Amino acid sequence: MKDMIFGKNEILAASVISRSFESGDEDVIALDRIDLVFQSGTYVALCGPSGCGKSTLLNILGLLDEPSSGVLTLFGRPLNGFDHWDRAKLRREHFGYLFQDGGMIERLSVEENIAAPMLYRGINRGRFEARLDDLLNLFGLASKKRKSVSQLSMGERQRVGLARATIARPAIIVCDEPTASLDEYNSNIVSDYLRSLALDGVLVICATHDPIVYDKCDIVIRMSSGRII
């Protein structure tokens, strides 16, 4: 495991983060006092066995979920007291997401799925048409741009998801098992692209089991039973 690099480029930090869930009468602790600091331009892998809390931590770091206790800091600003509206605003401004199954909106076409984050940001199609075409070409999806995503293979869906996560040039990209359902060829495409994003200054955080991914990461964080080991 490479050492974590802390410095002035710190953009995201978790301080004594815990997360517990109610299961019947008892609380199940999914995360136990996690302390982490992330810098821009870093490719980070969260590894560990199933149920160790990778996805829970990823959801909290990606502002998809809230910690039960502890403080999350984004660009030096603690997020305590932020409501769901404020979090939605931060997600829109700074985050891109790549989910295990691509997280497609099934009824939309390939290009509509990729363009959705820009449309939610109120950007006219004309202003991002060139970037959309670039991404479609980059991921070999140009010929399928008008197809429904439900007609795509898993590898193609994941590439669509990756294009969608990056179209708005977010500062942080959060990926949950991005290569879990992919063959080696597609896994390499996804991982190489994530690596290149990190080189461009994006913070990429991946929950993964896949050596193809974590071998290319700057930092590998290993987790077990809700703790970093």
Asked if residue 208 binds another protein (CB under 8 A), the reply is: no
190 within 8 A of 113, measured Cβ to Cβ: no
| Rounded-to-integer distance, Cα 63 and Cα 75, Å | 13
**Hey, what are 97's tokens?**
């997401």
Which is closer to another protein, CB of 160 or CB of 220?
A: 160
Which is closer to another protein, CB of 85 or CB of 185?
A: 85
Asked if residue 164 binds another protein (CB under 8 A), the reply is: yes
Asked if residue 116 binds another protein (CB under 8 A), the reply is: yes
| Rounded-to-integer distance, Cα 174 and Cα 162, Å | 10
Say how many residues make up the chain. 229
Asked if residue 105 binds another protein (CB under 8 A), the reply is: yes
Q: Pick one of 1, 16, 71, 119: the residue that binds another protein (CB under 8 A).
A: 119
**Residues 111, 113, 118, 119: is their CA dihedral positive or negative?**
positive
**Residues 164, 103, 220, 9: is their CA dihedral positive or negative?**
positive
Asked if residue 121 binds another protein (CB under 8 A), the reply is: yes
CA angle 82, 205, 6 (to 5 degrees): 85
167 within 8 A of 117, measured Cβ to Cβ: yes
Q: What is the smallest separation between the CB atom of 85 and another protein, expressed in angstroms?
A: 7
Asked if residue 191 binds another protein (CB under 8 A), the reply is: no
**Hey, what are 195's tokens?**
């690596």
Asked if residue 28 binds another protein (CB under 8 A), the reply is: no
Asked if residue 176 binds another protein (CB under 8 A), the reply is: yes
CA angle 79, 85, 89 (to 5 degrees): 75
Residue 83-102 contact track with another protein, rule CB under 8 A, x = bound: -xx--xx-xx--x-x-xxx-
Q: What is the smallest separation between the CB atom of 166 and another protein, expressed in angstroms?
A: 12
**Hey, what are 27's tokens?**
């609380």
What amino acid occupies position 112?
E
Interacting residues with another protein between 42 and 81 (CB under 8 A) = 55, 58-59, 62-65
Give the residue among 55, 54, 47 at the shortest CA–CA distance from 209. Answer: 47
Which is closer to another protein, CB of 39 or CB of 179?
A: 179
Which is closer to another protein, CB of 116 or CB of 138?
A: 116
Q: What is the smallest separation between the CB atom of 149 and another protein, expressed in angstroms?
A: 11
| Rounded-to-integer distance, Cα 12 and Cα 15, Å | 10
Q: What is the smallest separation between the CB atom of 167 and another protein, expressed in angstroms?
A: 10
Which spans of this chain sit near another protein (rule: CB under 8 A)?
Answer: 55, 58-59, 62-65, 84-85, 88-89, 91-92, 95, 97, 99-101, 103-108, 112, 116-117, 119-124, 164, 168, 176
